[in-house]
């Protein structure tokens, strides 16, 4: 998102608050308390705090200093720390090295690609990377394409919250990662029942071998497709098997799977792009390290951190949060990037805000953990720190989801008609956990902070309805 778009988003938020001003209606505390009683009957472990941003006055509080599983609300802490320590304009680099001269378009040696944790090296960006290499005159590589992931330790980390280890939300991390280390299968339906659906693979490369047994059925309305994976026998990469049924007619749809060997996956994807832009490669794709004496050929840069956070928070991207978390640690305490350094970076920032260590237990940067614990008070301090720091407030606010727009709040507040609440927030959801934190306005135009962390949730959809109701009550 460009700077002018960021400014417009923030202006719209505060103008909306101003438009609501003029009413003298007090907070409907009776209805609020009644709603929270209903909420706690569905989620017996609930902590919350609602407060005025300017005055600091607490409107409602319940177990504010007790710790709860925050789920993806934890991404707000990661985002705040990244903006404070790296800055909104920070970019993530990917370096390309050669171990010999390029003569008449030929390199009689290896080409090295070293990743530094770019969380947004998506398929389109790899085309740009490949084109930048080709534009410098390289037309033939006699050696191998060597992928260096040594900026992260260990080289590969797999974060798993449940048994569905191939699901993209169970992030697979490496210093060089293409397309969030996931494969997208776009399935096109057919009108002929019993026939197979047509599948395209993104990104396509020799790493991915497809086994498609998805059949078209006239007896179902919604797709029922599963993806399983296994390592290739005697080859490089993985076999992805798609099975199930899809309805006849209708639009194409997508299913995704993460990969088990992200450095090789990324290398083969980039190799395909290099070949497509005219760089012939004689060797293979291997994992290794840039040798001493190798020369820097070119450098690719990611979009700015402000743009990264837009996707990270609005769409609650676990992979991006974990990449930023690790890079934070390496930037502050030196490479290689480790989870321990990431935790230290977050904990140090929370201590600067005067938050006691008893108010949090940091595990990772995404909140994809049942061991991670944060109090509503700790989140309150982060929201307040952002609000009073204009150097990061526009970027932070613009990264948050809003009702009925693309993101995690797109399908929320559906029962409140056309008048949507002024609300910018980060949601969180795990099995048995529903959380939300962000900013809204009351009927007098005052900006409010809201943090609600619900654990031991039995009926998530009912809890979400009640959370939506709380936000709407604050604006009545």
pLDDT in tens, 203-221: 999 999 999 988 888 788 7
Burial per residue of 412-439, b for 16 or more beta-carbon CB atoms within 10 angstroms, e otherwise: bbeeeeeebbbbbbbbbbbebbbbbbbb
pLDDT of residue 21: 36
pLDDT of residue 320: 98
What is the SS3 assignment for 13? helix
Residues 100, 193: Cα–Cα separation, whole Å: 57
Q: Facing residues of 58 across strands? A: 51
Contact of 445 with 22, CB cutoff 8 Å: yes
| Stretches in the chain below the pLDDT threshold 50 | 1, 11-25
Contact of 240 with 261, CB cutoff 8 Å: no
CB hemisphere CA count around 421 (13 angstroms) = 29
Q: What is the pTM of this model?
A: 0.90
pLDDT of residue 25: 44
Contact of 159 with 174, CB cutoff 8 Å: no
Residues 384, 387: Cα–Cα separation, whole Å: 5
Quick one: tokens of 443?
């009927």
Domains in the chain with CATH codes: 3-89+305-474 (3.40.710.10), 93-155+262-301 (3.50.80.20), 162-258 (no CATH)
Distances (CA, A) of 344 to 81, 152, 333, 362, 368: 11, 16, 9, 9, 18
């Amino acid at each position: 998102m460009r700077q002018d778009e960021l400014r417009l988003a923030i202006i719209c938020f505060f103008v909306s608050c101003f438009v609501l001003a003029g009413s003298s209606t007090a907070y409907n505390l009776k209805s609020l308390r009644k709603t929270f009683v209903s909420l706690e009957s569905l989620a017996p472990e609930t902590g919350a705090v609602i407060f005025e941003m300017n005055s600091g006055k607490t409107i409602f509080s319940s177990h504010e200093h007790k710790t709860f599983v925050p789920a993806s609300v934890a991404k707000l802490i990661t985002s705040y720390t990244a903006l404070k320590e790296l800055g909104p304009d920070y970019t993530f680099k990917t370096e390309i090295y050669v171990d010999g001269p390029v003569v008449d378009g030929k390199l009689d040696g290896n080409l090295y690609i070293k990743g530094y944790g770019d969380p947004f090296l998506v398929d389109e960006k790899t085309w740009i990377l490949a084109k930048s290499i080709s534009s410098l005159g390289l037309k033939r590589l006699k050696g191998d394409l060597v992928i260096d992931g040594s900026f992260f330790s260990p080289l590969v980390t797999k974060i798993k919250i449940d048994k569905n280890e191939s699901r993209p939300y169970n992030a697979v991390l490496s210093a060089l990662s293409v397309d969030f280390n996931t494969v997208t299968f776009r399935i096109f339906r057919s009108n002929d029942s019993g026939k197979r659906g047509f599948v395209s693979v993104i990104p396509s490369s020799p790493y991915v071998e497809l086994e498609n047994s998805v059949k078209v059925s006239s007896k179902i309305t919604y797709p029922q497709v599963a993806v399983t994976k296994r390592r290739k026998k005697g080859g490089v990469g993985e076999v992805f098997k798609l099975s199930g049924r899809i309805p006849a007619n209708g639009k194409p749809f997508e299913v995704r799977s993460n990969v088990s060997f992200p450095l090789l996956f990324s290398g083969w994807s980039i190799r395909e792009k290099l070949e497509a832009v005219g760089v012939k490669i004689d060797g293979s794709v291997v994992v290794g390290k840039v040798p001493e004496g190798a020369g820097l050929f070119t450098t690719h840069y990611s979009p700015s951190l402000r743009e990264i956070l837009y996707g990270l928070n609005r769409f609650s991207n676990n992979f991006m949060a974990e990449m930023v978390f690790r890079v934070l640690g390496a930037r502050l305490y030196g490479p290689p990037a480790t989870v321990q350094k990431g935790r230290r970076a977050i904990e140090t920032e929370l201590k600067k805000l005067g938050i006691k260590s008893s108010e949090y237990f940091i595990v990772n940067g995404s909140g994809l953990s049942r061991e991670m614990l944060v109090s509503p008070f700790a989140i309150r301090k982060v929201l307040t720190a952002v609000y009073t720091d204009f150097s990061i407030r526009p970027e932070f606010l613009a990264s948050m989801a809003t009702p009925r727009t693309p993101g995690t709040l797109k399908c929320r507040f559906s029962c409140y008609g056309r008048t949507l609440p002024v609300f910018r927030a980060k949601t969180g959801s795990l099995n048995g956990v529903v959380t939300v934190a962000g900013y809204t306005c009351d009927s007098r135009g005052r900006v409010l902070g809201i943090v609600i962390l619900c654990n031991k949730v039995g009926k998530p959809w009912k809890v979400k309805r009640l959370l939506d109701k709380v936000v709407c009550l604050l604006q009545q």
